Amino acid sequence: MVGADICGFFLDTTAELCARWMQVGMFYPFARNHASNTSISHEPYAFPNHPYVLESSRQSMRLRYSLLKYYYHLFVRNNGTGTVFRPLFFEFPNDESLSDLDT
């Protein structure tokens, strides 16, 4: 179970960065919005001048909750046999297009 502290931890964030991080963070197996005591609040409602942060977060969380049963299924199926989320090149090691860094 891994996942970054959505919107960062130690430093302040911007509304735009937090909105984008919430969007990608909802795909983490472990997702949490967490910050240090010295940072500004990172909750979506903490950006009242930027209502898109709250709406974007709501949509992202709806998607996350629609995927959670599938995530749990993967964890149960793979219990003790390896990771659930892997890079594509792990699944297709002979596909050279997945390891070509120039494209």
Token output for 44 = 């979506």
Token output for 95 = 């596909």
How many other C-beta atoms are found inside a 10 Å radius of the C-beta of residue 31? 17
pLDDT at 55: 95
Is the Cα dihedral 14, 18, 24, 30 positive or negative?
A: positive
Residue extents of the structural domains in the chain = 5-98
Residue-by-residue pLDDT tens, the chain, 103 positions: 667 788 888 888 899 999 999 999 998 888 888 888 898 888 899 999 999 999 999 999 999 999 999 988 988 988 878 778 778 888 888 888 887 666 5
**Model confidence, pTM:** 0.73
Name residue 33's beta-bridge partners: 6
